[in-house]
Amino acid sequence: MARFSPFDIQARPNRLLGQVLSAVLFVVCLGLYMHASKVRHAENPEDRIVPNAQQLRSGVHASVLEPAEEDDYIAPEGASKWTRFQHSMIWKDTASSGRRFGISLLLFLPAILLALHIGLYPYFNAGFMRFVLFFDKIVALSLLPILFIAFGIDELSKIALIFIGVAPTLILDVIQMVKAVPQEQVVKSFTLGANDFDVTYRVVLRQIAPQIINSLRLNLKPIMLFLFAGEMIAASDGLAYRIAIMRRHMGMDVILPYVLWVALLLFLVDLSLRLLNKRMHPWFQS
Amino acid sequence: MVSVIEQEDNAMTLAPSTARGAAIHVAQVSVSYPAGKTGRKVILDELELEIAPGEFVVLLGETGCGKSTLLRMILGQERPTTGEITVAGRKVERVSAACGYVPQKYSLFPDRTVLSNLTMGPLTSGYHILGRLKPGFRAFRKQVREQAMQKLERMGLHAADAEKYPHQLSGGMQQRVAIAQALMMKPEILLMDEAFSALDPGTRASLQKMLRTIWLETKPTILFVTHNTAEALFLATRIIVLAKQTTPGRCGARVALDLKLPDTGMSLKKHGQEFLDLVDHIELCSQGFEAAAELTANFEGNVR
């Protein structure tokens, strides 16, 4: 086994040691949680602040197999788990949050194209750059009341919040990517008979596409942050709405599975984007 | 030095002013940029230059004397402060397919395979995006791909390299592909900006030979920017040296030496001491416009 030398920059843990080290903090957290749960349950067997394994199991069961509200569709007695899952609380909330998340991602497409043009075309740059820089400095959450007043408390205000919160940063990021494309490539394209459209979409966009996907990956958390802010303040469904509701009832047995579920969803979206990038842009990996 | 030039009297003379129909004409071009609060930094000062079709011109000069600026202006990437540049009789106003271009680096599109890099020019200029839906496109693409494979082979690369990405090739191979990419457009004028500077001596020598062979076969007009005097003497049929002026009140670079060379090129192996003398002369000329004028004033018929 390699010598354990954490303060040696040139030391490399071997594979086994690396895996053990990466698991240590998870085990420590789990141990601390279980200890805290045991202590609290020794004082109060009905404690809901730090639910034990049994409470968590029933929380997961309620989330995954039971409907959210009493007036929601209730699957018949002998229905399969899959059928019950499709009418469950977590499914309903995931679908609602997912819809908002998906619409926001779609809205980023025109923002990315705008950034591409700002980065490449001097006239676009002159017209939009300062406005984007100004908007980037506005704290999106401070606009929330204005959005609720202007658009009501429906979907539009929540999606607008995500867009306003993330789009300026994304646009500035893409502009930097465009500017980083060597000028030689643009000039060469023109000498090869390309027109402005070709240079924009078939040279520059193609080259920065993997970086745009990486930028979206890095922005997944801010997107979720603004989504959660919107849902926690005004929504009738959604993952953050459920967490906010459960907080009122101190329903940690549901909140904790929800938190882990959101993390898993984000991990899966990130993984999908990473794999998509790897498959679509093999040249970028180098 | 004089003898060197006199012995090659059939070719090695002051370049004559070419007739109308020059491939490239740089007319009284000056370039300056704002510097400080009130001043301007002059890069090129009333430059006058004509390059005839089929010439292989190498532009030499010290760092910062404006060689690359001149090349960028001929490309259309930059505009002169005063004066005018025409390429094939047309005033240069923007970058176009009038000239082929091989830069020192970033020559190839990293997201495309070698084959895609080679075919990009003809396919893009032949069929724009919606035109690719036309029935003739497939046949055209097939034809272009065949040409690209031939060109690849001609450049000394293997068919298997066609599907590689640029990062999978060595620097020398990348520049071979870059030259092939430019040649796929069959340019009448080829601009090369220190295209071999980043290569090792062996690769550089083989690319120099290859470029000369290509030039001898098809005789495009080539304007090649380099720092390397030996490379210039080997490649060029004409060497233009830019040098900064040192007289108080004058600044910016001008043509310090304009030398016509034999079509066969010059090398140390073939020309020995004459080659070395010429290298010395060129390098002295590149140190300053006034010094160059003084030096060349002694050589009858070689002063410009």
Q: Any residues with CB less than 8 A from the CB of A114 and at least 6 apart, and which? A: A124, A128, A171
Cβ separation B106–A203 shorter than 8 A: no
Closest Cβ–Cβ partner in A192, A194, A281 for B111: A281
CA nearest neighbour of B304 among B256, B271, B233, B263: B256
ipTM attached to this prediction: 0.86
Q: How many residues does chain B have?
A: 304
Asked if B36 has any chain A CB less than 8 Å from its own CB, the reply is: no
Closest Cβ–Cβ partner in B96, B110, B129 for A197: B129
Is pLDDT above 60 for A7? yes
| Domains of chain A and CATH, by start | 86-280 (1.10.3720.10)
Q: How many residues does chain A have?
A: 286
- Residue of B72, B79, B95, B193 best to disrupt the A interface, most CBs of A under 10 A: B95
| Mean pLDDT, residues B239-264 | 83
Closest Cβ–Cβ partner in B100, B126, B128 for A195: B128
Q: What residues in B contact A282, CB-CB < 8 Å? A: 165
* HSE, side-chain direction, 13 A CA sphere, residue A55: 19
DSSP B128: -
Is pLDDT above 90 for B15? no
Q: What residues in B contact A281, CB-CB < 8 Å? A: 111
pLDDT reported for residue A70: 64
Cβ separation A193–B121 shorter than 8 A: yes
| Mean pLDDT, residues A149-157 | 86
Q: Which position has the token pair 């958390």? A: A221
| Domains of chain B and CATH, by start | 4-98+188-303 (3.40.50.300), 108-186 (no CATH)
Is pLDDT above 60 for B11? no
Tokens standing for residue A236: 């009738």
Asked if B181 has any chain A CB less than 8 Å from its own CB, the reply is: yes
Residue B111, CA distances (Å) to A194, B68, B101, B253 in order = 16, 27, 19, 39
Is pLDDT above 80 for A173? yes
Characterize B28-41 residue by residue with b for buried, 16 or more Cβ atoms within 10 angstroms of its Cβ, and e for exposed.
Answer: ebbbbeeeeeeeee
Asked if B96 has any chain A CB less than 8 Å from its own CB, the reply is: yes
Question: Highest mean pLDDT: which of B23-27, B36-40, B41-45?
Answer: B23-27
Give helix A239-248 / helix A89-120 axis angle, nearest 10°. Answer: 130
Q: Which residue has the higher pLDDT, B108 or B279?
A: B108
Asked if B127 has any chain A CB less than 8 Å from its own CB, the reply is: no
Is pLDDT above 80 for B299? no
Asked if A121 has any chain B CB less than 8 Å from its own CB, the reply is: no
pLDDT reported for residue B18: 45
Give the CA radius of gyration of chain A. 24
pLDDT reported for residue B21: 73
Characterize B63-95 residue by residue with b for buried, 16 or more Cβ atoms within 10 angstroms of its Cβ, and e for exposed.
Answer: eebbbbbbbbbbbbbbebeebebbbbeeebeeb
CA B68 from chain centre, in angstroms, equals 10
A100 close to A226: Cβ distance less than 8 angstroms:
no
pLDDT reported for residue B3: 34
Is pLDDT above 80 for B7? no
| Mean pLDDT, residues B268-277 | 77
Characterize B230-262 residue by residue with b for buried, 16 or more Cβ atoms within 10 angstroms of its Cβ, and e for exposed.
Answer: bbbbbbbbbbbbbbbbeeeeebbbbbbbbbbbe
Interface A–B counts its CB contacts (< 8 A) at 79
pLDDT reported for residue B302: 45
Q: For chain B, how far is it from start to end, CA to CA, in angstroms?
A: 16
pLDDT digits 0-9 by tens, B157-166 = 999 999 999 9
pLDDT digits 0-9 by tens, A107-131 = 999 999 999 999 999 999 999 999 9
CA angle, corner A264, sides to A258 and A269, nearest 5? 125
| Mean pLDDT, residues B191-209 | 89
| Mean pLDDT, residues B136-152 | 92
Q: What residues in A contact B100, CB-CB < 8 Å? A: 191
Cβ separation B120–A192 shorter than 8 A: yes
pLDDT reported for residue A79: 77
Kindly report the nearest CA distance between residue A103 and chain B, in angstroms.
Answer: 29
Cβ separation B106–A182 shorter than 8 A: yes
d(Cα A13, Cα A29) in Å, to the nearest integer?
23
Q: Which residue has the higher pLDDT, A5 or A213?
A: A213
Asked if A202 has any chain B CB less than 8 Å from its own CB, the reply is: yes
Residue B86, CA distances (Å) to A273, B51, B77, B188 in order = 49, 11, 14, 14
| Mean pLDDT, residues B30-53 | 87
d(Cα B55, Cα B236) in Å, to the nearest integer?
8
DSSP B92: -
d(Cα A270, Cα A10) in Å, to the nearest integer?
31
pLDDT reported for residue A154: 83
List the single residue in B with minimal CA-CA distance to A284: B111
* Percent of chain A surpassing pLDDT 90: 70
Average pLDDT, chain B: 84
pLDDT reported for residue A216: 95
Kindly report the nearest CA distance between residue A196 and chain B, in angstroms.
Answer: 11
| Mean pLDDT, residues A166-185 | 96
pLDDT reported for residue A193: 93
DSSP string, chain A: -----TT-TT----HHHHHHHHHHHHHHHHHHHHHHHHHHHHH-TT--SS--HHHHHHHHHHHHHS-SSTTS----TT--HHHHHHTSHHHHHHHHHHHHHHHHHHHHHHHHHHHHHHHH-HHHHHHHHHHHHHHHTS-GGGGHHHHHHHHTTSHHHHHHHHHHHHHHHHHHHHHHHHHHS-HHHHHHHHHTT--HHIIIIIIIHHHHHHHHHHHHHHTHHHHHHHHHHHHHHS-SSSHHHHHHHHHHTT-HHHHHHHHHHHHHHHHHHHHHHHHHHHHH-GGGG-
* Percent of chain A surpassing pLDDT 70: 97
pLDDT reported for residue B17: 44
DSSP B162: G
Task: Name the band, by pLDDT with cuts 50, 70 and 90, for residue B297.
Answer: low
Closest Cβ–Cβ partner in B75, B111, B124 for A187: B75
Is pLDDT above 80 for B300? no
Tokens standing for residue B272: 């020995």
Closest Cβ–Cβ partner in B76, B124, B165 for A192: B124
- pTM for the whole structure: 0.85
List the single residue in B with minimal CA-CA distance to A182: B106
Asked if A188 has any chain B CB less than 8 Å from its own CB, the reply is: yes
Lowest mean pLDDT among A66-75, A205-214, B8-17: B8-17
Is pLDDT above 80 for B1? no
| Mean pLDDT, residues A142-146 | 89
Q: What residues in B contact A121, CB-CB < 8 Å? A: none
pLDDT reported for residue A2: 57
